Amino acid sequence: MVSRRGAVWLPVFRSPVGASAAILLVVVLITAIVAPILWSDQAAAVDTAAIQRAPSAKHLLGTDGLGRDILYRLLVATRLTVELAVLATLVGTALGIALGTAPSVLGRRAGTVVTAIVNIAVAFPGLLLILFFAVVFGVTTQGAVLALAVAMAPFYARLTQTLAAAVAGKDFVAAALASGVSRIRILTRHILPNIGEQLVVNAMIGVGGTLLTFAGLSFLGIGIQPPDYDWGRILNEGVASIYVNPAAALGPAMLVVLAGLSFNLFGEAAAQVISGERTSSRRGVGRPSPTARDDEHDDTVEPILHVRDLRVSHPVRGGWTSPVRGVSFSLRRGEAAAIVGESGSGKSQTALAIAQLIERPGLVTAEALTFGGLPLAQAPGRVLGTSLAMVFQDPMTSMNPTMKVGRQLAEVAEHHQGMSRTRALAKAVDRLQSVRIPSAARRAHQYPHEFSGGMRQRAMIAMGLMGTPKLIIADEPTTALDVTVQSQVLRLLADVRETAATAVLLISHDIAVVRRFCDRVLVMYAGRIVEDIRVRDLVTEASHPYTRALLASVPDMSTDRTQPLASIPGRPPHPDELPPGCAFAPRCPAADERCRTDDPALVHLGERHRVACWHPRTLERTGE
Ligand SMILES: Nc1ncnc2c1ncn2[C@@H]1O[C@H](COP(=O)(O)OP(=O)(O)OP(=O)(O)O)[C@@H](O)[C@H]1O
C-alpha cells in the first residue's frame, strides 16, 4: 500500500511538466553517480597532440587546452556540480529554518532582533550578498558553499516564519499550548512537521537556482578551484576558446541550464500539487477602560471556576480594542453552562482567556480568575491539559495531521503524568474506547485524516480525558458536524459530565443545542454578560430583550410555520464602536433615553437569575 506521504507526491509525476522534469532529474542524478566511476580516467587523460580540437567522432564536444575530452569532463563534473549545489541549499535551508524559528523560541527582545536582521537581509540584493560572503569566507570551494548558504538563509527564514505563522493559528497548536506542551516541543512536533513539505519543495526549486549561481561563481573564478572542476569552470575554459570550438562553451552552458531547470520544474510541479491539496481589528478607542462591572452571582456551592471582571484587550492601530469587557460568573463542579450570543460577542475570547490561551500582545486582566481555588495565571502549566481540557470547533484543524491520533493523545500523558511511551499509548487507546471509537487499538495508529469528522471530535474529547479534567471548555464543538453526530458528541460530553462530575462550559450560538444540554445560560452581547439564567427558566423568565429575541429566532413546536422567523434587526456593534449607554439599545424596541446614556450593570433579578437591563421583561409585558 502506498503511504499517505508517498501518495501526495504521485500526482507530481502525472503532470507532463512534472514527469519530464522527473525524467531529466533522474538522468542528472544517475550521471552524477556513475560518471566519475566510469569515465574519470578518460576525463583526466591529457593528449598534447590534440589540443583545442573541434568536435569529431572521437571527441564529440572537442578537447580543451590540454587535449582532454570535454564531454567526459562534463559528465564527470556532474557529481561535484550537483553535490555542491545540494550541499549549499541544505546548509542555507537549515540556517534559514533556525533563523525563522528563533523568534518563537527566544525571548521577545532577542526574537525581534533576529526578525529585524532577517528583514534587512531579505531586502539586500542576493548577488551582492553572495559576492560579499565569498570574499569574507575566502576564494575556496568551501568558501563558495558557505557564501551561497548564508546568502540564501534570509529567504528561507522569511519563508519559515510565514509558513509557521499559518500553522501556529491552528487549533491543534492552541490545544497543545493548552496541554502545557513547551514551545520547543510545539515547534518540533507540531509546527515543523506541518511546514516540512513546503520547505522541501522550496528547497528543491532552490537547488536549481543554486546550481546556476554556483556555476556562475566558478565561471568568475571564485567558485571551485583547480584541480577540481565543475560545469562552471569548464564553461570558463570553453569561453576562452569559443571562436575555435563553440561546443566547448555551449556544452557546459546547456547542461547548467537543463539541470537547473529539472530541479526547478520538478519543485514547481510538486508545489502546485501540494497547494492544490491544501485548497480543499480595527481602530481602538484608547486603553481598556473600566465600564460598569457585572454584579457577580456568588451563591455557588464549591465553585470550580470563578471569574470576576474578566477583560480581554488587543492592541490595534491607535489604541486598544476590548472584545471582553468585565465578565463575571462562577461554575460549580459538574455544572454545564453555556455562553451564547451572536458572532463577535466575545464568547471565544472569554473561553480562550480562561484557558490562558490569549497570546501576547493580547492582554487579559481580571479581579479574580481562579480554578479549583487557585489563580489560573500562576499555574497554567499544571492546570491546563490535566484538570482543564479544551475542545475546539473545527475537527479538521483540531488535530495535528502529521501525527498519529494515539501518539497525540499519549503525548499529553507522557508530558503531564511522566508516563512511559507504552503506558501512555495504552491509556490513549483506553480513552479512545471510552469515547466509543470502534477498534480503538487499531484506530490509535491512524492519522486524523483517516477519522470521520465526528470521530475526530470524539478523539479531541478523549484527548481532554487523558488527564482527569474538572472542567471541559468546548468551543462550538458541534458546529462542523451533522445533526446525528452532533447529538452523539453532546451525549458523550453529558456522559463525561455525569460520571466524573466534570463541569462543562459550552460556547455556542445555537440556543436549541444549549437547551438540550446545559443547566444554565450566560447570554453575551458586545463583550458582556447581559443575562445569566437557568435553562429551565429560559422560556418563561428570560428578561433581557436580547435573550428574548434570541429565543424568538429559534423555531419550536408552537411556532407558526406560515410566518417568517423572528430575527433581530441591526447588527451587534464592533468592540471599538460601542454606543455610550447599553450596547443593545440601538437594536432594542424598548430602549429609552436612559438606555442610550447609561450602561446597566448585571444585577440579580431572582435567586439564580441576573440581568443587565433597565427594562427587564418589558417585551413580555408589552405582549411580545
Ligand atoms: N487578536 C485580536 N485583535 C483584535 N480584535 C480581536 C482579536 N481577536 C478577536 N478580536 C475581536 O474580538 C471580537 C470577539 O471575538 P470572539 O471570537 O470572541 O467572538 P465569538 O462571540 O466567539 O464569535 P464567533 O461565534 O464568530 O466565534 C471580534 O469582534 C473580534 O474581531
Q: State whether 415 and 433 are in the same domain.
A: yes
Would you say residue 260 lies in a domain? yes
Q: State whether 429 and 530 are in the same domain.
A: no
Which of 419, 435, 466 terminates a domain? The answer is 466
- Number of other residues whose CB lies within 10 A of the CB of residue 299: 10
Cell 529539472 belongs to: 262
**Residue located nearest, by CA, to atom 19 of ligand 1:** 344
DSSP 384: B
- pLDDT for 405: 92
Would you say residue 287 lies in a domain? no
Would you say residue 141 lies in a domain? yes
| Three-state DSSP class for residue 611 | strand
Q: State whether 94 and 239 are in the same domain.
A: yes
- Number of other residues whose CB lies within 10 A of the CB of residue 58: 11
Q: Are 508 and 340 in contact (CB under 8 A)?
A: yes
Q: State whether 445 and 471 are in the same domain.
A: no
Q: State whether 167 and 123 are in the same domain.
A: yes
Question: Is the distance from the beta carbon of residue 427 to the nearest atom of ligand 1 less than 6 Å?
Answer: no
Distance 346 CA to ligand 1 centre (A): 6
Question: Is the distance from the beta carbon of residue 161 to the nearest atom of ligand 1 less than 6 Å?
Answer: no
Question: Is the distance from the beta carbon of residue 78 to the nearest atom of ligand 1 less than 6 Å?
Answer: no
Q: State whether 269 and 340 are in the same domain.
A: no
Which of 436, 466, 496 terminates a domain? The answer is 466
Distance 549 CA to ligand 1 centre (A): 22
Would you say residue 296 lies in a domain? no
Nearest ligand 1 atom to the CA of 312 is: 12
Question: Is the distance from the beta carbon of residue 572 to the nearest atom of ligand 1 less than 6 Å?
Answer: no
Nearest ligand 1 atom to the CA of 393 is: 27
Average pLDDT by stretches of 10, the chain with 624 residues: 51 78 90 92 85 85 88 93 93 92 76 84 83 86 90 90 74 70 79 83 86 86 85 87 86 89 83 55 37 43 84 86 92 92 90 86 88 74 70 73 89 81 90 85 91 83 82 81 72 82 88 85 94 91 90 64 61 85 90 91 88 76 42
- pLDDT for 497: 85
Q: State whether 322 and 243 are in the same domain.
A: no
DSSP 520: E
Q: State whether 336 and 422 are in the same domain.
A: no
Question: Is the distance from the beta carbon of residue 103 to the nearest atom of ligand 1 less than 6 Å?
Answer: no
Question: Is the distance from the beta carbon of residue 323 to the nearest atom of ligand 1 less than 6 Å?
Answer: yes
Question: Is the distance from the beta carbon of residue 284 to the nearest atom of ligand 1 less than 6 Å?
Answer: no
Q: Give the C-alpha separation, 611 to 531, whole Å.
A: 4
**Residue located nearest, by CA, to atom 5 of ligand 1:** 281
Burial grade of 182 (CB within 10 A; 0-12, 13-18, 19 or more): middle
Would you say residue 392 lies in a domain? no
Would you say residue 290 lies in a domain? no
Distance 322 CA to ligand 1 centre (A): 9
Question: Number of structural domains, the chain?
Answer: 3
Strands, E assignment, 266-357: 303-316, 319-332, 336-340
Closest CA to 583 of 593, 573, 568: 573
Distance 339 CA to ligand 1 centre (A): 14
Which of 466, 497, 513 terminates a domain? The answer is 466
The residue segments making up the domain with residue 323 are 303-387+467-556+563-621
Question: Is the distance from the beta carbon of residue 345 to the nearest atom of ligand 1 less than 6 Å?
Answer: yes
Question: Is the distance from the beta carbon of residue 509 to the nearest atom of ligand 1 less than 6 Å?
Answer: yes
- pLDDT for 131: 86
Question: Is the distance from the beta carbon of residue 209 to the nearest atom of ligand 1 less than 6 Å?
Answer: no
Nearest ligand 1 atom to the CA of 349 is: 18
Q: Are 327 and 333 in contact (CB under 8 A)?
A: no
- pLDDT for 480: 62
The CATH number linked to 125 is 1.10.3720.10
Q: State whether 476 and 331 are in the same domain.
A: yes
Grid cell at residue 463:
484527548
Would you say residue 292 lies in a domain? no
Identity of the residue numbered 109: R
* ipTM exceeding 0.90, yes/no: yes
The CATH number linked to 332 is 3.40.50.300
Distance 324 CA to ligand 1 centre (A): 9
- pLDDT for 93: 93
Q: State whether 41 and 51 are in the same domain.
A: yes
- pLDDT for 290: 38
- pLDDT for 171: 66
Question: Is the distance from the beta carbon of residue 288 to the nearest atom of ligand 1 less than 6 Å?
Answer: no
Q: Give the C-alpha separation, 588 to 276, whole Å.
A: 47
- pLDDT for 624: 42
> Kind of pairing, strands 603-606 and 609-611?
antiparallel
Question: Is the distance from the beta carbon of residue 267 to the nearest atom of ligand 1 less than 6 Å?
Answer: no
Q: Please name the residues in contact with 135: beta carbons below 8 A apart, sequence gap of 6 or more.
A: 222
Ligand 1 binding pocket mutation candidate from 281, 311, 505 (most atoms within 8 A of CB) = 281
Q: State whether 44 and 57 are in the same domain.
A: yes
- Number of other residues whose CB lies within 10 A of the CB of residue 471: 23
Ligand 1 binding pocket mutation candidate from 345, 394, 509 (most atoms within 8 A of CB) = 345
Closest CA to 156 of 199, 205, 127: 199
Q: State whether 378 and 484 are in the same domain.
A: yes
Would you say residue 393 lies in a domain? no
- pLDDT for 302: 59
Question: Is the distance from the beta carbon of residue 93 to the nearest atom of ligand 1 less than 6 Å?
Answer: no
Burial grade of 557 (CB within 10 A; 0-12, 13-18, 19 or more): exposed
Q: Give the C-alpha separation, 288 to 213, whole Å.
A: 54
Phi, psi (degrees; rounded to nearest 5) at 48 = -70, -15
**Residue located nearest, by CA, to atom 28 of ligand 1:** 344
